[in-house]
Amino acid sequence: MTRFNPRESILLEWLILLFRILKPLLEPRAFMSDFKKYHCLECEHIYDEAQGDPDSGIAPGTRWEDIPDDWECPICGAPKSFFKLME
pLDDT by residue for the chain (87 residues), tens only, comes to: 566 666 777 888 888 888 888 877 776 554 556 899 999 999 999 999 999 999 999 999 999 999 999 999 999 999 999 999 998
pLDDT of residue 39: 97
What is the reported pLDDT for 31? 54
Q: What is the 3-state secondary structure (H, E, C) of 19-39?
A: HHHHHHHHCHHHHCCCCCEEE
Closest CA relative to residue 58, chosen from 83, 24, 31, 27 = 24
